[in-house]
Structure 1
Amino acid sequence: MYFKIVRVLLVSMIPLLITCNRVHAQGVGREILSLHIQEAEALFLKNNLSLLAGQYAIDNARVQIITAKLFDNPQFSIENILYNPESKKFFDMSYDGGQYGGSITQLFQTAGKRNKNIRLAKINVQEAEYNFFDLLRTLRYTLRSDFYKIYFQEQSAAVYTAEINSLSKTLSVFRQQYAKGNIAEKEVLRIQSQLYSLQAELNDLKDAIDDVQSEFKLLIRANPKSDVKPQISFNLDGKDVLEQVPYQKLLDSATANRYDLKAAHSALEYSNLNLKLQKAMAIPDVNLSLTYDKQGSFVRNYSGLGISIPIPLFNRNQGNIKQARIAVESSKVGLQQQQDQIESDLDNAYQGALRLELLYNSFDPKFKTDFNHLIEEVSKNYEKRNISLLEFLDFYDSYKTNTIQLNNLQLNRINSLEQLNFVTGTPIFNK
């Protein structure tokens, strides 16, 4: 009797398990944010606060160019007699007895110091722009990786949900039959144990999904109370994506488009120019001054033109010049290190993507369809009692494991292509 009841119940659950591409149930009252990857990137570029802060950093660097272009202000000084003992007057401004004088001084920089400072400020702007685009590269990689991770983890969660729903109803029937004495307690405990295990695994998976959802929503500044539902329309089954792009093209793209590499080149340029500036700083600047004195000089109403130049006997900016030379050598090492790192990262990412592509394409494209068909055949055999209940449930557990592994393999393959996009700094494989 109980076999008929359980058989009917389990067979009715087959469509639920086969159509496990639905996402797990969302929280009550939560907004569903359905997005394609292009829509997610548009929201990211429009709303992300880190990018906005990076743009402010560029604006701040541009302001420094204005500062560097400014000339030094002239200095004006005036001196008046405090007390005239002859006329017994304070601040005597009279024609005969008063005395006052004044001067105006202007600093003129030599050896092109001003132009060098302007060029340094422009390089700072360039570095700020490179840092911004490198930040954009990093955040976009995070965005796209999170997008695909959410999608495939939701697919895996749907498998758990379907099997849990099936086992929950089965457990309810088994408990009723156990109460009537139709089945042994070990059958109930077997179903109950597997159900609890699945529920714990699903809970861990949902925690992981929530973490990724939180990071993704922060990137696009979506409502924290919403649930993102990624939409994917492409299919990589049987496609040799890497064969379409030569490795040398990837390397050339990384060399030309990695903004952190450009920033390293810019840092070397800055160091070389700063060395020239420090050498120029050893050349004295010139102060020109115009002076007037009413009657404190050897002639009345004295006026004079003055020039002052520091004599570079002791301080010839030796320390700063040496530091600038060290900075040049350090920048060269940093540039070479960045180039080596890019080549290493590219080789590592390419080899990983190639292995995943070969592994994924080695699977029969009809594997999933055949596996779904096989589960129908297993149910038929169960109806005929050719297999036991435990064998039937073990097969469903195998179905869950293989489906989740396939989802993870698809995710890893897409992530490997995104990693190549990230390493090369170019959306070569963007879908």
Structure 2
Amino acid sequence: MRLLIFLLVFIRVILPAQAQTTTEPDSMRLTLQQADSLFVKNNLLLLAERFRIEASQAQLLQASLYDNPTISVELSTYNSEARRVLDVGRQGQKIIAIQQLLYTAGKRNKRIALASEAARLTEFELLDLLRGLRFDLRSRFYSIYFQQKTLARFDQQLATLQTTVSAYEVQYNRNNVSLRELLRLKALLFQLNNDRTAIVFQLADDQRALRTLLSIDQPIKPVVLDESLARYQLPLQSEDTLQQIALRNRPDLKATESLTRQAELNYNLQRALAVPDMRVGGTYDQAGSYVQNYVGLSVSTDIPFFNRNQGAIRAARSQISYQTQLQRQKVMQVNNEVATALQKVREVERRVQSVEQQFTDQFDELNRGVVVNFQKGNISLLEFVDLIEAYNDSISQLNRLKADRVSAYEELNYFIGEDLFR
């Protein structure tokens, strides 16, 4: 009876896997380098952020412009003595005045410096967005790769197990096997299908996120070479060195420093605003002054008696203290993030190195002999089920560990702000 079951499994095991493979939708095969290039070219968030940079550059241009002069014209509407309307000729009356605002205390240059620092902040925000999205891209890329490998193993096992269950149903109908044996195999098949569904759901979420990052609508088939994974090795630099690299490179830290500089520049500007500006102009009065065709020079300024910009200066000074504290907090955060990421890398590398070489080969070899030994009667149904469950769980855990390894290294890249593993 077991020989018959084995022959049915052997004949039919390949066909379901092939059928399932051929029904998959067309996928776009991409290496990580190709995905990176497509991401930089197509990602809509990055494209939108570039417009923010253009807007900040336009604000810098606006800050550098001078104020327009103001001109005023006063015309005589009616000459009651000559009884003329709009008497603006030689015997009439008109006043023309022009005035220009002149900034004092270097206000224009201070505004330019503040706008320039704001533009630099926008660039740092773009770099930080790029850093975060690239980390997400690479993590999803390798997660999909290892999930697809796990799914391929599950499909092979499901094909074998489904055929085995079908063969057992035939034998059960002939009263050659017990209902308990049949139900145990069906329970194993049900559990394996549930595990596969969980992987498919996670894979679908990762595919959706990756397609959004790349701005495409096709499923991704990651192409990963052995040398691509081999480049992830424990860094030679010490923890202190890596922290110093992060402090130099992290765009989010530079953004925090830029906000501190903006607070200082704004304080300088608010102090300058306490100094009154001057308005200089000239006036031509045809017949309304003590002489005909009067030409005069005007200079005016505010008297800083009530408003000396005290509130704004005080607020700007407090903003400096606030941003300084945030900057110190950010430095501490960066150092802790690098230390934690390095600890994760060391731990996951230790786990992978301890199991990958022997564990995978032994389980693959054992799995290949499970059906044969079950057919020969060398193992019982309970042992067969236990071995299948152990193999599937171990393969799933191992591929998850490999994905976690790459994610840990990419997280270290993310927290350092530099690609250490090229």
Q: TM-score, normalised on structure 1?
A: 0.92
Equivalent-residue separation in structure 1 for 2:47 and 2:243 (angstroms): 30
Give structure 2 stretches of 5+ with no counterpart. none
Q: Quick check: 1:171–1:191 contact (8 Å CA) kept in 2?
A: yes
1:53 positional shift: 0.8
1:382 positional shift: 2.8
The within-5 A match list for 1:177-192 is 177-192=171-186
Q: Quick check: 2:161–2:189 contact (8 Å CA) kept in 1?
A: yes
The one-letter code sitting in structure 2 at the alignment partner of 1:289 is: G
Structure 2 counterpart of 1:323: 315
Farther-moved stretch of structure 1 (228-237 vs 67-76): 228-237
Residue in structure 1 matching 2:414, options 399, 403, 422: 422
Give structure 1 stretches of 5+ with no counterpart. none
Q: Confirm whether residue 335 of structure 1 aligns to residue 327 of structure 2.
A: yes
Q: Quick check: 1:240–1:357 contact (8 Å CA) kept in 2?
A: no
The within-5 A match list for 1:384-395 is 384-395=376-387
Residue in structure 2 matching 1:311, options 294, 303, 311: 303
Structure 2 counterpart of 1:174: 168
The one-letter code sitting in structure 1 at the alignment partner of 2:330 is: Q
The one-letter code sitting in structure 2 at the alignment partner of 1:341 is: Q
1:90 positional shift: 1.8
Secondary structure of the corresponding residue to residue 281 of structure 2:
strand
Structure 1 counterpart of 2:236: 244
Q: In the superposition, relative to structure 1, how do residues 93 and 306 fare at CA in structure 2: closer, same or farther (>3 Å)?
A: same
1:238 positional shift: 9.6
Q: Which consecutive segments of 4 or more residues in structure 1 shift more than 6 A? A: 12-17, 236-240
Query: Which structure is higher in helix share?
Result: 2
Equivalent-residue separation in structure 1 for 2:15 and 2:251 (angstroms): 49
Q: TM-score, normalised on structure 2?
A: 0.94
Secondary structure of the corresponding residue to residue 283 of structure 2:
strand
Q: Confirm whether residue 301 of structure 1 aligns to residue 300 of structure 2.
A: no
Q: In the superposition, relative to structure 1, how do residues 23 and 243 fare at CA in structure 2: closer, same or farther (>3 Å)?
A: farther
Residue in structure 2 matching 1:95, options 82, 90, 101: 90
Q: In the superposition, relative to structure 1, how do residues 243 and 45 fare at CA in structure 2: closer, same or farther (>3 Å)?
A: closer
Structure 2 counterpart of 1:140: 134
Residue in structure 2 matching 1:80, options 75, 88, 91: 75
Equivalent-residue separation in structure 2 for 1:382 and 1:296 (angstroms): 119
Structure 2 counterpart of 1:130: 124
Q: Confirm whether residue 39 of structure 1 aligns to residue 34 of structure 2.
A: yes
Q: In the superposition, relative to structure 1, how do residues 290 and 132 fare at CA in structure 2: closer, same or farther (>3 Å)?
A: same
Secondary structure of the corresponding residue to residue 308 of structure 1:
strand
Residue in structure 2 matching 1:213, options 207, 210, 232: 207
The one-letter code sitting in structure 2 at the alignment partner of 1:106 is: Q
Secondary structure of the corresponding residue to residue 76 of structure 1:
strand
Structure 1 counterpart of 2:49: 54
Secondary structure of the corresponding residue to residue 25 of structure 1:
helix
Farther-moved stretch of structure 1 (238-247 vs 101-110): 238-247
Q: Quick check: 1:16–1:162 contact (8 Å CA) kept in 2?
A: no
Structure 2 counterpart of 1:350: 342
Q: In the superposition, relative to structure 1, how do residues 24 and 309 fare at CA in structure 2: closer, same or farther (>3 Å)?
A: farther
Aligned residues: 422
Aligned alpha-carbon RMSD (Å): 2.3
The one-letter code sitting in structure 1 at the alignment partner of 2:342 is: Y
Percent of counterpart pairs with the same letter? 35
Equivalent-residue separation in structure 2 for 1:414 and 1:23 (angstroms): 32
The within-5 A match list for 1:223-262 is 224=217, 226-234=218-226, 241-242=233-234, 244-262=236-254
Equivalent-residue separation in structure 1 for 2:82 and 2:233 (angstroms): 100
Secondary structure of the corresponding residue to residue 170 of structure 1:
helix
Secondary structure of the corresponding residue to residue 105 of structure 2:
coil
Q: Quick check: 1:23–1:157 contact (8 Å CA) kept in 2?
A: no
